[in-house]
């Protein structure tokens, strides 16, 4: 079976702009080769088994991003945007691999997050079930495996703020990982919303894998448009601009004193989100950052 690989050679300073472009094209599975990755590997030798390409030749301040568009037409559109903005060199390859759709799985291993959570791909075995809440995930083509900084921080925040019997809304749910994690952490019920059919399919499947189908309602829709009830906690792991547009509607769907966890925010957009939260009746009660990504927690006070 043939597949498309798109490689971007650029400078590290262009990373956030390039990620924004790829996210606009619904591409979230991205391989990064840079000096920072080498530094991280030097600190985490257990990760070395997951690397099978020569990354040590990368020069200082150089960044290579590898990704896999759905087809050649999509790859050329991405190339055009990157070249128009003078963000780097782009190479497109058509390759042949009988198992291309599954090759990425070898890099995705059980991941322990915080003190309580373990994200486990459904093709892997996990040995520490007695001490962690196991969340089984088959992401398919949906965003949300726990490995991305924005998802990782959301899971840490959920562990901190989900209370027993809470009602949770996961807006822009991707794989459904955040809604499922909330239920494993004690929430009573969850609503997972996304506009993408692949995300809806993945969320339904992952709810089944975790035996929580009776507690999670998966709906297709544009953010809060399909939401009627109120939640104790709303979590949204999308980009800053969409979060800002969403904030003004939160008070209609979040109980007074309720918690809003927002992530998917690059550090340059942090103030934009904080300002919007404050202007709409939220107190900022918590914040985390990781590798230029930010997660912000607001408490509704109206």
Location of structure tokens 């840490």: 156
Among residues 237, 250, 239, 258, the alpha carbon closest in space to that of 277 is found at 250
CA distance 247 to 297: 12
18 pLDDT band, cuts 50/70/90, is: very high
CA distance 98 to 111: 28
- Tell me what pLDDT residue 176 has: 93
Question: Where would I find the H helices in the chain?
Answer: 15-24, 35-43, 72-84, 149-161, 177-184, 197-209, 240-250, 270-279
Rounded to an integer, what is the distance from CA 220 to the centroid of its chain? 18
Token pair belonging to 292: 């230029």
* Lowest mean per-residue pLDDT among 105-109, 200-204, 286-290: 105-109
Token pair belonging to 235: 């979590």
pLDDT (tens digit per residue) in 160-213: 999 999 999 999 998 899 999 999 999 999 999 998 888 899 999 999 999 999
Domains in the chain, ordered, with CATH? Answer: 2-104 (3.30.70.260), 108-300 (3.40.50.150)
Location of structure tokens 């070898």: 106
Query: In sequence order, what are the beta bridge partners of 262?
Result: 236, 296
* Lowest mean per-residue pLDDT among 74-78, 92-96, 232-236: 92-96
Work out the angle between the directed axes of helices 15-24 and 72-84 (0-180°, nearest 10).
140
- For Cα atoms 251, 248, 245, give the angle at the middle one, nearest 5 degrees: 140
Tell me how long the chain is.
302
- Tell me what pLDDT residue 1 has: 61
- Tell me what pLDDT residue 105 has: 66
Q: SS3 string of 66-91?
A: EECCCCHHHHHHHHHHHHHCCCCEEE
- 3 state DSSP class of 287: strand
Distances (CA, A) of 111 to 116, 129, 211, 251: 11, 12, 20, 34
Percent of the chain with pLDDT over 90: 53
Enter the pTM of the model.
0.70
DSSP codes of every residue in 31-77: EEEEHHHHHHHHH-GGGGGG--S--TTPPTTEEEEEE--SSHHHHHH
User: Within 13 Å and on the Cβ side, how many CA atoms surround 271?
Assistant: 1
């Amino acid at each position: 079976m043939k597949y498309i690989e798109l490689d971007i050679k650029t400078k590290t300073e262009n990373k956030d702009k390039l990620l924004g472009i790829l996210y606009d094209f619904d591409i979230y599975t991205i391989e990064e080769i840079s000096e920072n990755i080498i530094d991280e590997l030097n600190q985490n030798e257990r990760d070395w088994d997951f690397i099978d390409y020569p990354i040590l030749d990368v020069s200082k301040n150089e960044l290579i991003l590898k990704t896999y568009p759905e087809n050649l037409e999509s790859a050329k559109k991405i190339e055009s945007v990157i070249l128009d903005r003078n963000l780097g060199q782009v190479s497109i390859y058509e390759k042949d691999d009988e198992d291309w759709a599954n090759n990425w799985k070898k890099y995705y291993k059980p991941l322990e997050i915080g003190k309580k959570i373990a994200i486990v791909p459904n093709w892997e075995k996990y040995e520490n079930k007695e001490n962690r809440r196991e969340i089984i995930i088959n992401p398919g083509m949906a965003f949300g495996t726990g490995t991305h900084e924005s998802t990782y921080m959301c899971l840490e925040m959920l562990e901190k703020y989900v209370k027993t019997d809470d009602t949770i809304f996961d807006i822009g749910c991707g794989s459904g990982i955040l809604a499922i994690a909330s239920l494993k952490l004690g929430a009573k019920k969850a609503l997972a919303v996304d506009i993408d059919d692949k995300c809806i399919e993945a969320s339904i499947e992952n709810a089944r894998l975790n035996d929580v189908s009776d507690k999670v309602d998966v709906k297709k829709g544009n953010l809060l448009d399909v939401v009627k009830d109120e939640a104790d906690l709303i979590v949204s792991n999308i980009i800053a601009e969409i979060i800002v547009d969403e904030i003004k509607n939160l008070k209609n769907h979040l109980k007074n004193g309720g918690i809003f966890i927002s992530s998917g925010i690059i550090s340059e957009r942090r103030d934009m989100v904080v300002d919007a939260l404050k202007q709409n009746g939220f107190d900022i009660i918590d914040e985390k950052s990781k590798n230029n990504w930010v997660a912000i927690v607001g408490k509704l006070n109206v």
